[in-house]
């Protein structure tokens, strides 16, 4: 049974990654299972300088989902490289660093910081955080997305993934812009804008008022986005792979994403209520594939019949 996935020059032993912001810096999960079995680990997004994030409360449960307005709380790139990266590397899975920039010019600074750093398999450029002030949601404008990706591409040789937002009218156009800018892959989707209200007190439940919705509730949206991107890529001869994200909590979920066009997936919110879910998915895959006469997981990519 072949579970290995080749995303350009990035090789994954299986198509199951853990999404940024849902797995901490992996240290928190190391006692749960052997992290070397993961396809890749994507730690929480880092910015050039430390950020405190938004005021609390900044998470709230909803029906079949989670709203968050964390605001990219992190210690900054310098402390990440000094204090976190070596720990992450020891777990034996490829490390994909997630970064967010506040301007096109800041790409240059990240390029300098990451140049020559060993242990980083890829960069995921987060152009899609929906609850941060200060210019990080570059994924809503195709022209700006292309510009920032092109700038990042010019300053790094790392495999470059661009994380897209669903909070647009035509996500395939933004994906195409990322590809033109030099992305090696796109990941879809980040969270959907939403809110929760305490009507008795006439107050929002998030201090930020709105936040990003994730979890099972957004899986149909994520599947639609991956499908639209894949179809547009195929129509226009774009060859870069798509990584699916959104509500994935089982091997069946993963396989749905592959069929609509994803080559790999990221497991996110499910990690909060089932910390070993990614391993369970990996272990479920071979049996399901064998039962359906499939000996290579890659055979399923883009096979939806319409």
Catalytic residue ranges:
129
How many other CB atoms are found less than 10 A from the CB of residue 295?
A: 10
Q: What is the DSSP letter of 46?
A: B
Handedness of CA 206, 274, 18, 220 (dihedral sign): negative
CA-to-CA distance for 271 and 126, rounded, in angstroms?
20
Contact 196, 43 (CB under 8 A): no
* Phi-psi map region of 215: left, alpha, beta (phi>0 left; psi -120 to 50 alpha): left
Angle between helices 106-114 and 142-155 (to 10 degrees): 30
Pairing outcome for strands 16-18 and 10-12 = unpaired
Contact 60, 206 (CB under 8 A): yes
Identify whether 270 is preceded by a cis peptide bond (ω within 30 of 0).
no
Q: What is the DSSP letter of 129?
A: -
Q: Which residues of 145-168 are buried (b: 16+ CB within 10 A; e: fewer)?
A: bbbbbbbbbeebebbbbbbbbbbb
Phi–psi pair at 277, nearest 5 degrees: -60, -40
CA-to-CA distance for 61 and 151, rounded, in angstroms?
37
Determine which helix (DSSP H) or strand (DSSP E) holds 106, and give its type and residue range: helix 106-114
CA-to-CA distance for 211 and 227, rounded, in angstroms?
25
CA-to-CA distance for 6 and 121, rounded, in angstroms?
13
């Amino acid at each position: 049974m072949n579970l290995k996935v080749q995303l350009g020059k990035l090789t994954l032993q299986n198509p199951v990654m853990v999404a940024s912001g849902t797995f901490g810096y992996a240290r928190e999960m190391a006692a749960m299972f052997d992290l070397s079995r993961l396809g890749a680990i994507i730690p929480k997004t880092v910015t050039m300088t430390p950020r405190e994030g938004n005021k609390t409360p900044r998470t709230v449960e909803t029906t079949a989902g989670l709203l968050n307005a964390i605001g990219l709380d992190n210690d900054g790139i310098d402390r990440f490289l000094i204090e976190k990266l070596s720990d992450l590397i020891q777990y034996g899975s490829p490390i994909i660093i997630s970064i967010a920039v506040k301007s096109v010019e800041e790409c240059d600074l990240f390029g300098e910081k990451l140049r020559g750093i060993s242990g980083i398999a890829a960069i995921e450029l987060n152009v899609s955080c929906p609850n941060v002030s200060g210019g990080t949601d570059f994924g809503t404008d195709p022209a700006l997305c292309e510009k920032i990706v092109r700038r990042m591409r010019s300053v790094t040789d790392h495999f470059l993934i661009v994380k897209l937002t669903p909070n647009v009218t035509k996500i395939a156009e933004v994906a195409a812009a990322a590809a033109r800018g030099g992305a090696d892959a796109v990941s879809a989707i980040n969270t959907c804008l939403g809110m929760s209200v305490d009507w008795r007190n006439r107050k929002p439940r998030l201090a930020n008022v709105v936040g990003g919705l994730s979890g099972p509730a957004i899986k149909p949206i994520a599947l639609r986005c991956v499908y639209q991107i894949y179809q547009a890529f195929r129509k226009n001869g774009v060859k870069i792979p798509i990584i699916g994200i959104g509500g994935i909590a089982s091997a069946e979920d993963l396989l749905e994403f592959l069929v609509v066009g994803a080559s790999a997936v990221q497991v996110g919110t499910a990690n909060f209520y089932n910390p070993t879910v990614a391993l369970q998915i990996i272990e479920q895959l071979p049996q399901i594939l064998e039962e359906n006469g499939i000996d290579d997981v890659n055979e399923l990519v883009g096979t939806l019949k319409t």
